[in-house]
A and B are shown apart, each in its own frame.
Chain A
Amino acid sequence: MTAKTLFEKVWEQHQVVPESADTPAVLYIDLHLVHEVTSPQAFSVLRAQNLKVRRPERVLATMDHSTPTDPDEVFGRVPIKVESAARQVKEFEKNCREFGVELHDMSSDTRGIVHVIGPELGATQPGKTIVCGDSHTATHGAFGALAFGIGTTEVGHVLATQCLLQRRPKTLAIEVTGKLRAGVTAKDLILAIIGEIGVSGGTGYVIEYRGSAIEALSMEERMTVCNMSIEAGARAGLIAPDETTFAYLKGRRFAPQGKAWDEAVARWRELKTDPGAKFDRVVSIDASKLEPMISYGTHPGMVVPISGTVPEVANDPVHAKALNYMGLHGGEPMVGKPIQVVFIGSCTNGRLSDLELAAGVIKGHKVASGVRMLVVPGSQQVKREAERLGLDKIFTEAGAQWRESGCSMCIGMNGDTAGRGEYAVSTSNRNFEGRQGAGARTLLASPATAAAAAIAGKIADPRAYLPH
């Protein structure tokens, strides 16, 4: 038998029709995640062609992108402020009702960011193919699933046929050895990886993250790493499932139970890259050399270690354009730069352990004057668990705002935005121009770095603030 990579195993198990020179593979999709922003036009196509959703039980629908985070708006005590968002939410409810899709709606206690609730409900499982009209679907690869983002036309394809037409991508192994040092998080690791391979370094590839540093990560940390695969251009990033994965999934709502659980775990154990299997490309990273990272520019590859300076690049108009937008100068140190906004949340860093990390830094301190800090749990379940631990109190007593779950300031569709020219230290994943609001300047970092900046009122090394 030929040695196979994890990706190849999952791919081959889902070929309804293998690819040929003339046609791409017909790939079966086990789980389709759907949200309000990228689905309306797909439902319209189904309606126009008189088609049904082929497998409604394989669709998990939630609302997260354009939904409010203000509790009064969420629970209907006041109207949703952004009218177009309110209409979009209404239309989504109607579509789900009409096509028989279970929706985790606004009042649901299982609602949340699509990439947070899939794993949390146990719907995300090793070996599955998972898609969503959202580029951060790679998050679910943390469980050894082949998960990737698709466009709205493809959302329609999957709704109607449970299948997608796909050409087989190439494979890229990212081997991470060594041990992350204290104060260096999974977020810093993935930012460093993107800085290393570049924002298109993964284009055309599926990444497998492997090596001792990856195996040592918790599930939530693995999700943070896989989440940002698209920021390196890769549609999917996977990690082989292991005991950490099984322990996380056991007992969750959609996880197999009893005998079916044991059988599933036995199957899942096979899902690792065989010794000797070949990748199209291999990149090695030494985790023990990394520092906390922060972005300085307008794409996620423009990152430096927190103790670093803004790179000087001569005769590069694109670099100059980015620095001009960011209001930064080559050679200037990152630490000490005053900031106005801190955002803790998103599908990258909006899980319980992220909030715990930020709370640990904030506890007993105050958010600096002139800084607005927003803490937005990734799901209603994360919110409840955080409140049980008293994290909400730690944040609000420090002067931060504690909100209902959603994408919020990661994308700014619901009115949660950073202002023009404001510096926002954000635990999200994109620092594109205008991503967090027109003219807003995003500095991507870990929850620890974001929390440290909130206290200091300027960019600060989180290691000086971590509890001992």
Chain B
Amino acid sequence: MQPIRTIESRTVVIPVTNIDTDQIIPARFLTTTTREGLGKQAFADWRYDANGAVKSDFILNKPEVAGCDILVAGRNFGCGSSREHAPWALLDYGFRAVISTEIADIFRNNSLKNGLLPIVVDEQTHQWLTNHPGANVKIDLDTTTLTLPTGATAKFPIEGFARVCLMNGVDELGFLLQQAPAIERYEQARGF
């Protein structure tokens, strides 16, 4: 994984609460056996109609959002299933961070493991972002701060170990594999 320190980009706003993983990537696309190429199907049923035609009124189909790498969404983003295809699809589509006031647990975990930053901010900051689609914002993982174009800043929480892994481009599996001696001792103690 590439190390991530800062992300600076304009935002796309989808001001809908409880966007679930079935919206982010509908289940019929989960028969894949790889993680690549899911961006085409991100928000498929919001982007395309029953005949596959582009719904021009949906924000992701508007020309002005090209190059916007940060998604701002309503509360409880990513609720529902554990499918990691959701962050895979968003990353493949081109998003690098999601900002909300609340992000569902499993989605947040999955995102951290793939380099999609789940950023939880306070109501006031979120309100500002929702009212200013396309704003150029900066996410700094080192200082765990989000900076708005007004100069206003907001701190965001992020699990410390995941943050270090993201900043150094390190995979958590390597760390777990290094725990082998402790795992062996544990298994022996339980008689496995």
Contact = CB atoms under 8 A, between A and B. Distances in A.
Chains A and B belong together in one complex? yes
A149 B15 CA distance: 27
Nearest to A133: B82
Contacts of A88: 31-33
Nearest to A430: B80
B182 interface: yes
Interface stretch (B54-62, B133-141, B144-152, B170-178): B170-178
A23 B32 CA distance: 33
Contacts of B26: 434, 438
Interface in B140-180: 159-161, 164, 172-173, 175-177, 179-180
B69 interface: no
Contacts of B17: 318
A54 B180 CA distance: 10
A413 B106 contact: no
A216 interface: no
Interface string A15-54: 0110001111010100000000110110011000101001
Given A135-B81, A235-B105, A413-B28, A318 B110 contact: no
A161 B114 contact: no
Contact of A299 (B20, B81, B84, B187): B20
Given A38-B82, A200-B104, A162 B35 contact: no
Contacts of B20: 299, 430, 432
Contacts of B35: 41, 152
A153 interface: yes
A113 B27 CA distance: 16
Interface string A127-163: 0000001110000000000000111111011001111
A152 B84 contact: yes
User: Chain A interface residue count: which class?
Assistant: 35 or more
Contacts of B113: 151, 153-154
B22 A37 contact: no
Contacts, number: 172
A411 B192 CA distance: 37
B105 A299 contact: no
B16 interface: yes
B39 interface: no
Contacts of A28: 183, 186-187
B102 A200 contact: yes
User: Chain B interface residue count: which class?
Assistant: 35 or more
A433 B22 contact: yes
B18 interface: yes
A163 B179 contact: yes
Nearest to A65: B30
Contacts of A329: none
Interface stretch (A69-77, A79-87, A358-366): A79-87
A156 B84 CA distance: 12
A134 B182 contact: no
A69 B179 CA distance: 42
A387 interface: no
B74 interface: yes
A271 interface: no
A122 interface: no
B75 interface: yes
B92 interface: no
A163 B22 contact: no
B27 A413 contact: yes
B59 to A, nearest CB: 13
Contacts of B180: 161
Interface in A76-119: 82, 84-85, 87-88, 91
19 contacts: A16-B179, A24-B159, A28-B183, A28-B186, A37-B83, A38-B84, A41-B35, A153-B110, A160-B176, A161-B173, A165-B161, A167-B159, A200-B76, A318-B16, A412-B28, A433-B45, A434-B23, A434-B45, A438-B28
Interface of B: 15-18, 20, 22-23, 26-28, 30-35, 45, 50, 74-76, 79-84, 102, 104-106, 109-110, 113-114, 159-161, 164, 172-173, 175-177, 179-180, 182-183, 186-187, 192
Given A22-B161, A24-B159, A45-B173, 17 more contacts: A16-B183, A26-B176, A28-B187, A37-B30, A37-B31, A41-B33, A88-B31, A135-B82, A150-B109, A160-B173, A160-B176, A161-B180, A165-B172, A321-B16, A412-B27, A413-B28, A434-B23
